[in-house]
Structure 1
Amino acid sequence: MFVLGAGASASSTNASGVRPSSWEAFLESGLRRVGNRDDRIAAEEQLAKGAFLDAAQILVDSLDSAEFGLFLRQELEDPAFQPSELHQLVLRIDPKVVITTNYDRIYESLVTGGPAAAGYNVCRYYDDHLVNDLRSNRRLIVKAHGCVSNPQRIVLTRRQYFEARRDHPQFFAALDAIFLTSTLLFIGSGFNGDPDIELLLQNVNISAPSQHTHFAIIEAGRHTSVKRAMEETHNIKFLEYPAGQHAEVIGALRVLADDVDSYRAVSVA
């Protein structure tokens, strides 16, 4: 099973060569819409400190529902970002479940627009069919933080993280089970500010320690002590590539896709 973070979407472009904004740039764009100067300055101060959840909280509280929805669609839908080779390779590898923390619809537009569209289902955290989907023979895209298709229900702030877990415990219990019983490969996840994913990994590691780790493809640069602590607390193995060399990720996924194709050929034979 795969977990796609913001870095996966960042591999996409639109017809003009524009890429999706980084998490920080996304928030900066939203804050330019905040009319109250004091609120905007306070949020920018939080952003400068790396307190993204707090900056997002001020942003959400400062915009009305319609303006916030317009902002999301202009950032994520209007540019018409196209699936990248990374998305194509994930589709080729064909995991049963792809979990994503992204709000965009880049990957699902790829899989639901092809000849196998009927074999896929999309489940957002507020939907009630995750367990049924997991037990079915359909491929599943799990949108753990919601979707741009329903801006008022995306999870962006500290309060929204809490409310999602409080109001939809069955979804997160099922997500816990996935993290407990499956080996996950994280692609494009920075592990630097997503309390949902970190909490899931830590809880599973505490409640049911396993010798089998999860894996994450990440950009090199963390201090050895920080990396070791994260690996131990999250039961995860970091597969590092040189800073800025994102093509290394595509190369690794090509090798994995080739290996999967070879395995399937042998299995069928």
Structure 2
Amino acid sequence: MMQENWPDPLVRDIARRRAIFVIGSGVSRHALGMDGITRPPVWKGFLNDAAKRFPRGPETEHIYNAIEHGDLLHACEWLKNRYDEDWTAYLRSRFVDPRYTPGKLHELIALLDTRVVFSLNFDDIYENKSREINEASQFTKNYSDPDVCEFLRNDARYVVKVHGNLASPATLIFTQEDYARARIKHSLFYSAFDAALMTHTFLFIGCGYGDPDVNLLLENQAFSADPNSINPHYFLTSDNISHDMKKSLRKNRNLKTLCYDKIDDNHSGLVSTIECLYSRVTEARSLLLENNNW
């Protein structure tokens, strides 16, 4: 994606802080552990690694099959049950113990300075970098916090942990059962999320279009209207998505697909793509200031 291909409405909404970023494991992957090699795992890779503790056989074949066919929520639930009391320690060994350092992508997202960022990640890599850049004006909220909805009307900056964080393992949303329980017990947060979808433009970064996260977060939103009559949300991906899939995402999720060239396995192309977006947004904000058109 070249700089000029960023949609003007998206650039405008980010410039006016009327946009919300949703960041997934593809963003965390741009961090490096203290060893200079280790990177946070994406969800499917994490499950594949976790499954290796249990040899593939008649009793575990369904877990491996679920991972291979994208049924990640059930695979995670079954693995969590098998790990039992070791589950939290394993999570921390993968997401906390390597002591990840934020990458350039985290810095750029923070510099874009949207007022609200929804993080699907358990780690605190992005919020640490954002707090460093935006100083003390940022609050981190979990979906389970009783006051989580204040991000809708307060003028502060927020990072909202959609799945919780590893400081409170009991509140993590990681399985089919966790999602179902959270939607009932913490319905206020999901109502606020739906409200945000109606009032802000969303940009999904580092998420897969087949991820249960994206589907579950958008499933309550009514997108039955003509997609040409309402402004879309945006989904940034490196995948070679077919034209039919792009049409389906627009029709069924109101997601307009934006593609970039990943360049290499570490998706360095995503960094240059967000650099282009940052340049566009900075220019747009300068014009807003010059014209006193805030």
CA contact (8 A) 2:107 2:130 kept: no
Using the TM superposition, give the Cα deviation of residue 207 of structure 1 relative to its aligned residue in structure 2, in angstroms.
Answer: 6.7
For structure 1, the 5+ residue unaligned runs are none
SS in structure 2 of the partner of residue 237 of structure 1: strand
The AA in structure 2 aligned to 1:204 is: Q
Residue matched to 2:76 = 56
Among candidates 142, 154, 158, match of residue 136 of structure 1 = 154
What is the rounded CA distance, in whole Å, between the counterparts of 2:57 and 2:219 in structure 1?
Answer: 39
Give the structure-1-normalised TM-score.
0.90
Between 1:73-82 and 1:223-232, the stretch displaced more is 223-232
What is the rounded CA distance, in whole Å, between the counterparts of 2:186 and 2:56 in structure 1?
Answer: 33
Determine whether 1:95 maps to 2:114.
yes
The AA in structure 2 aligned to 1:140 is: Y
Using the TM superposition, give the Cα deviation of residue 69 of structure 1 relative to its aligned residue in structure 2, in angstroms.
Answer: 0.8
Residue matched to 1:261 = 282
Residue matched to 2:4 = none
Among candidates 85, 89, 97, match of residue 104 of structure 2 = 85
Determine whether 1:228 maps to 2:247.
yes
What is the rounded CA distance, in whole Å, between the counterparts of 2:133 and 2:263 in structure 1?
Answer: 35
The percentage of aligned residue pairs carrying the same residue is 29
CA contact (8 A) 1:180 1:208 kept: no
SS in structure 2 of the partner of residue 156 of structure 1: coil
Using the TM superposition, give the Cα deviation of residue 63 of structure 1 relative to its aligned residue in structure 2, in angstroms.
Answer: 2.1
The AA in structure 1 aligned to 2:173 is: V
What is the rounded CA distance, in whole Å, between the counterparts of 2:73 and 2:59 in structure 1?
Answer: 15
Residue-by-residue CA offset, 1:163-184 (whole Å, 9 max, x unaligned): 1101100011001111111101
Residue matched to 1:204 = 221
The AA in structure 1 aligned to 2:284 is: Y
What is the rounded CA distance, in whole Å, between the counterparts of 1:115 and 1:6 in structure 2?
Answer: 21
Among candidates 193, 196, 202, match of residue 184 of structure 1 = 202
Residue matched to 1:251 = 272
The AA in structure 2 aligned to 1:170 is: L
The AA in structure 2 aligned to 1:206 is: F
What is the rounded CA distance, in whole Å, between the counterparts of 1:159 and 1:21 in structure 2?
Answer: 22
Closer, same or farther in 2 for the Cα pair 1:96/1:239, shift >3 Å?
same
Higher RCO (C-alpha 8 Å, min separation 6) = 2
Closer, same or farther in 2 for the Cα pair 1:168/1:217, shift >3 Å?
same
Aligned-residue CA RMSD (Å): 2.2
What is the rounded CA distance, in whole Å, between the counterparts of 1:84 and 1:46 in structure 2?
Answer: 32
Residue matched to 1:163 = 181
Residue-by-residue CA offset, 1:73-131 (whole Å, 9 max, x unaligned): 1000011111111110011110010011111111011123x264321111111111122
Closer, same or farther in 2 for the Cα pair 1:149/1:135, shift >3 Å?
same
Using the TM superposition, give the Cα deviation of residue 56 of structure 1 relative to its aligned residue in structure 2, in angstroms.
Answer: 0.6
Between 1:23-32 and 1:239-248, the stretch displaced more is 239-248
Determine whether 1:74 maps to 2:93.
yes
What is the rounded CA distance, in whole Å, between the counterparts of 1:222 and 1:36 in structure 2?
Answer: 32
CA contact (8 A) 1:46 1:54 kept: yes
Give the structure-2-normalised TM-score.
0.83
Using the TM superposition, give the Cα deviation of residue 29 of structure 1 relative to its aligned residue in structure 2, in angstroms.
Answer: 2.5
Closer, same or farther in 2 for the Cα pair 1:193/1:253, shift >3 Å?
closer
SS in structure 2 of the partner of residue 216 of structure 1: strand
What is the rounded CA distance, in whole Å, between the counterparts of 2:268 and 2:166 in structure 1?
Answer: 28
Closer, same or farther in 2 for the Cα pair 1:227/1:128, shift >3 Å?
same
Closer, same or farther in 2 for the Cα pair 1:9/1:168, shift >3 Å?
same
CA contact (8 A) 1:201 1:235 kept: no
